[in-house]
Amino acid sequence: MNTQKIIVISPNFSEDSMIISQATINSEFTAMRFGSWNVPLEYQNDVVAVYGEDLFTTIVAEQCNLKLLKPADDWLASIPLKYTLRNIIYDRFGNIYDVKNKFIKPVDFKFFPAGVYTSVDKIQGFETIDNNIEVFVSDVVNWSIEVRCFVIDRNIQTWSTYIYNKEIQLKDSMLQNEETQMLIFLNEFLTDKTIDLPKAVVIDVGYIPDKGWALIEANPVWSSGVYACNPKKVIDTIVKSCEKMTS
């Protein structure tokens, strides 16, 4: 008996979810959007992937016996300085009260907006933030170009600029020499076997004027924005990032 290969997408409509849904047409996959976060029992065995916001994907994965691949929580802080071009630490929120003039970002979920803070008490909702949440704290740098890359088995599947000259601009913004240098840097990073990478992952890289190309961060595929990346390649990467577990 033939079975479907279902990608469950969030009931919250977004541009990205509509891109993914449209891209499954005439493919081996079927996008399904249910009215809630509950997947009907008759579909659960056929679900091969999920795409949407973090909490939604976690709940659907539990129902459909999926393992969602992502970098380790402290992954970014473990990357050598030659790739990041800035110091990055991983710690709990309660341990960073003395931090001044740093970029601060929650590791999981959006407990507060990531950004540059002159002091920790300037963070929105500071008084209510759980001291045990994990955060990254890094030196402040200015990115002139930012690029999103979908990766399977350390091979680039598709990529798109999303910032160029500090403005929102999508693919084909870069000059040829900029693109060439970006790909040289990214391929060097991806082929470095000392770097632990999931089978499928989103890697963001960027250009720091007067410094060069550097790693921005890594993100789970199943919750990352598409930008101008090839949607068919994005779907392939999403499916690789969701592994069906045996009962």
Under a CB-based contact definition with an 8 Å cutoff, are residues 3 and 215 in contact?
A: no
Q: Quick check: 122 pLDDT over 60? A: yes
Q: Quick check: 155 pLDDT over 60? A: yes
* C-alpha separations of 85 from 149, 208, 232, 238 in Å: 19, 9, 33, 29
Q: Quick check: 1 pLDDT over 60? A: no
Under a CB-based contact definition with an 8 Å cutoff, are residues 182 and 147 in contact?
A: yes
Mean per-residue pLDDT, 174-193: 96
Beta bridge partners of 150: 158, 202
- Read off the tokens for 87: 């110091």
Q: What is the structure's pLDDT at 35?
A: 85
Per-residue pLDDT band for 117 (boundaries 50, 70, 90) equals: very high
Neighbour count for residue 156 (Cβ, 10 Å): 15
The tens digit of pLDDT for each residue in 221-234 reads 999 999 999 999 99
Average per-residue pLDDT for the chain: 94
Domain limits of the chain? 6-68, 87-138, 142-219
142-219: CATH number: 3.30.470.20
